[in-house]
Structures are given as C-alpha cells and as structure tokens.
Amino acid sequence: QGPVVGGWYRILDQLIPGTTKVVAVKKMVMDQGAFAPCFLGCFLAITGAMNGLSAEENWSKIQQDYMDALLTNYCIWPPVQVANFYFVPLKHRLAVVQCVAIIWNCYLSWKAN
C-alpha cells in the first residue's frame, strides 16, 4: 500500500498546498472522506477474493464488515492524519502512517478473516 498512499499524499499536497492547521484539517477531511472509504472497500474486496469467496459471499462479507471497519477507522485515523499533515514533512509522512498501520492492518486482517 506504500506506493498508493505515497502517491495520494503527493496529490493532496498539490490540491491543498500549505502547512497550516487549517490546511492539515482540510487534508485530513479529504483523506478520510475520499481515500479511506475507497481504500477500505478495496481492501475488504481483495481480501475476500484472495480467501476464495464467491462474488456473492464477498459482497455479503463486505456489507457485514464495512461500516464497522469504517467507523473504527474514523476513531483512529483523523487525529493521526491531522498531526501527520501538520507536523511531518511530505517525505516522512508515509513512514509515520506505516507505524500506525501496523496496528490498523492487524485489526483489518482480523476483521476480514
């Protein structure tokens, strides 16, 4: 996921330039409003397919898990991302996110399986 997230951060910096607190909040809103829901849906769909679920079983599993995972995402990632966008230079943001993602990915793997 590193290249995808790293590319997303570069896009965010182009769309919303700057490093103020307001800019950090705007980037977080874009990240959590656009990227996170799509990324989470793709993660669950790919995990289900890799686990051998049929299309119908996969869709049912996504419907069962998506909202709970998304709400959990919103408890963890907004404060992390505001701090990341405000305090951390672009070239180091991915590293910060990957540290938190170790725990997040454990949760997602548990949820998906």
CB-based contacts of 53: which residues, under 8 Å, 6+ apart?
A: 61
pLDDT class for 111, splitting at 50, 70, 90? confident
Q: Do the Cβ atoms of 13 and 90 come closer than 8 Å?
A: yes
Between CA 74 and CA 51 the distance in angstroms is: 26
Between CA 37 and CA 42 the distance in angstroms is: 9
Tens of pLDDT, residues 45-97: 999 999 999 999 999 999 999 999 999 999 999 999 999 999 999 999 999 99
pLDDT score of 106 more than 80:
yes
